[in-house]
Amino acid sequence: MYNILPNKKYTLPWLFTLVSIFTIFSACKKELDAPTPLPFETGMLVASEENLVINTTTPGDEALRLTWDAFPNSMVSYKLVLFTATNSDTVSVASGAISRRFNHGELNNLIVENLEMEIGTTATLSFKLLCFINSKGLDAESNTVTIQVTPAATGAAYSELWVVGGAAPAGWNIDNPNPMKKDPTNPFQFKFNDVFTEGEFKIPTSTGNWGTDFFMPLENHPSLTSTGVQLVPGGNPDYKWYISTPGAYKILLNISAAPFIEIKPFTPFAKLYMVGDATPAGWNIDGPTPLTATPGNPYEFTYTGPMSAGEFKVPTSTGNWNGDFFMPVTNGEGVTSTDAIFVPGGQPDNKWKITEAGNYKIVLNQLKETISITKL
């Protein structure tokens, strides 16, 4: 007879192993009761103020903070609904956040422009949080929080903004990031026109502090054609835009009650001209006075020569009064003018004014949208 236990010193360990395997196998066959899933909830919504008077003399200061006692979870997306008895509006909230901060300027613009609340009149403002896990088809809404608020005259929440990141010329230097330029025609708009390298960037509301508030995209590394933007208190979650193709870009950020951002690659015009009675060619749009490209700088054009007393503007092509122009912010600006705004279609029809005839040097940078007019 064949002996399956040829060596006695292995008998007990072998039997122990066999029993263990059988026990584990038997346990695996038992049907376990599935745990009951917890309900998907937003947590209790709480407002930091009950009575709020908007103070637009300090538009960047915190006015109101809404918090909810949920666990931070990047899978959860949020929307915050603001509503009165007659109007409502929805604002973005960063994924995984557990609070939403409003400064005086932002909240005031929302309630005056979008909710049509009356300036100087105390009224009821309510909030409700909506949350979603789109991958699981789950949604929930919070309790309603109500406060009393007195709106003020609207204005921009920030007078200065910056660009920081590996794509920007100044890099990740939060102590000295690249400043954006407030649009001289709109206090809610900021521009940054420059040459970017490949990399990321975001927009801080102050310098010297990585914990400041940032304007960021709604998700990390969105398409540059996406116009969505949000103000993220404390800069967390840390979303950024990503420039994959180095080159010149023009960025326009709008921080009004309906914020948006435009990020567009810029191809410089190969030729620029001057037209007007101040120029040698006069008002001849078919043969205007040409500007000269600066060698090694495709964005800069110059003119050095005689100018008469009169007006001029800078067309980007010939033969068409309805073409695109570079123009001053307001009509009649003189030699101290520094802004050369790109105006598609040439309307409004603003022009620079030369009051004293003589020789001049004019330098126009079409990327930075700047001009220098110097009498020689």
CA-atom Rg of the chain in angstroms: 31
Q: Are residues 110 and 168 in the same domain?
A: no
Sign of CA dihedral 146, 258, 220, 193: negative
Q: List all residues 6 or more positions away from 51 whose beta carbon is below 8 Å from its beta carbon.
A: 122, 147, 148, 149
φ, ψ (nearest 5 deg) of residue 62: -65, 130
Q: Among the three residues 236, 265, 294, which one is the final residue of a domain in this structure?
A: 265
DSSP string, 248-271: EEEEEEE-SSS-EEEEEE----S-
Q: What is the mean pLDDT of residues 211-234?
A: 93
Q: Read off the pLDDT of residues 139-152 as tens digits, 9 standing for 90 and up.
A: 888 899 999 999 99
Please state, in angstroms and as integers, the Cα–Cα distance from residue 28 to each residue in 14, 20, 24, 31, 32, following that order: 21, 12, 6, 8, 9
Residues of the chain with pLDDT > 70, as a percent, come to: 88
Peptide bond just before 259 cis, omega within 30 deg:
no
Does residue 23 sit within a domain? no
Does residue 254 sit within a domain? yes
Peptide bond just before 237 cis, omega within 30 deg:
yes
Is the per-residue pLDDT at 204 higher than 90? yes
Do the strands 51-53 and 145-150 form a parallel or antiparallel pair, or are they unpaired? Answer: parallel
Q: Among the three residues 111, 126, 150, which one is the final residue of a domain in this structure?
A: 150
Q: Are residues 292 and 245 in the same domain?
A: no
Per-residue confidence (pLDDT) for residue 39, from 0 to 100:
60
Q: What is the mean pLDDT of residues 262-278?
A: 97
How many domains does the chain divide into? 3
CATH code at position 285 = 2.60.40.3620
307-337 in b/e form (b: 16+ CB < 10 A) is bbebbbbbbbeeeeeeebbbbbeeeebebeb
CATH code at position 70 = 2.60.40.10
Asked if 221 and 240 touch (Cβ cutoff 8 Å), the reply is yes
Q: Are residues 170 and 216 in the same domain?
A: yes
**Residue 131 banded pLDDT, cuts 50, 70, 90:** confident
Q: Read off the pLDDT of residues 67-85 as tens digits, 9 standing for 90 and up.
A: 998 766 767 888 899 999 9
Q: Are residues 194 and 145 in the same domain?
A: no
Q: Are residues 254 and 302 in the same domain?
A: no
Q: Distance between CA 53 and CA 125 in Å, rounded? A: 12
Per-residue confidence (pLDDT) for residue 27, from 0 to 100:
44
Is the per-residue pLDDT at 130 higher than 80? yes
Does residue 16 sit within a domain? no
Mean pLDDT score of the chain, rounded to an integer? 88
Find, among 263, 269, 193, 204, the residue nearest to 231 by Cα.
204
**Residue 233 banded pLDDT, cuts 50, 70, 90:** confident
Find, among 248, 214, 374, the residue nearest to 303 by Cα.
374
Per-residue confidence (pLDDT) for residue 166, from 0 to 100:
97
Q: Read off the pLDDT of residues 325-358 as tens digits, 9 standing for 90 and up.
A: 999 999 999 999 999 999 999 999 999 999 999 9
Does residue 25 sit within a domain? no
What count of other Cβ atoms lies within 10 Å of the Cβ of residue 279? 25
Per-residue confidence (pLDDT) for residue 22, from 0 to 100:
45
Does residue 106 sit within a domain? yes
Is the per-residue pLDDT at 15 higher than 60? no
With H, G, I as helix, E, B as strand and everything else as coil, classify residue 125: strand
Per-residue confidence (pLDDT) for residue 6, from 0 to 100:
41
Give the range of the structural domain holding residue 66, as residue numbers without chain letter: 45-150
Does residue 38 sit within a domain? no
Q: Are residues 345 and 299 in the same domain?
A: yes
The two three-digit tokens of residue 353, written as one number: 């004014």
Asked if 275 and 310 touch (Cβ cutoff 8 Å), the reply is no
Q: Are residues 280 and 371 in the same domain?
A: yes
Per-residue confidence (pLDDT) for residue 26, from 0 to 100:
44
Q: What is the mean pLDDT of residues 317-321?
A: 96
Does residue 2 sit within a domain? no
Q: Are residues 258 and 277 in the same domain?
A: no
What pTM value is reported for the model? 0.76
Length of the chain: 376
Per-residue confidence (pLDDT) for residue 373, from 0 to 100:
98
Does residue 9 sit within a domain? no
Q: Read off the pLDDT of residues 26-69 as tens digits, 9 standing for 90 and up.
A: 444 444 454 544 466 767 899 999 999 999 888 888 899 999 98
Q: What is the mean pLDDT of residues 266-292?
A: 97
Q: Among the three residues 96, 122, 150, which one is the final residue of a domain in this structure?
A: 150
Q: Which residue has the higher pLDDT, 267 or 2?
A: 267
Find, among 335, 329, 336, the residue nearest to 181 by Cα.
329
Q: Distance between CA 217 and CA 203 in Å, rounded? A: 10
SS3 content of the chain, % helix, strand, coil (to 5): 10, 40, 50
Q: Are residues 114 and 132 in the same domain?
A: yes
The two three-digit tokens of residue 113, written as one number: 């422009």
Q: Which residue has the higher pLDDT, 26 or 374?
A: 374
Per-residue confidence (pLDDT) for residue 93, from 0 to 100:
84
Per-residue confidence (pLDDT) for residue 96, from 0 to 100:
75
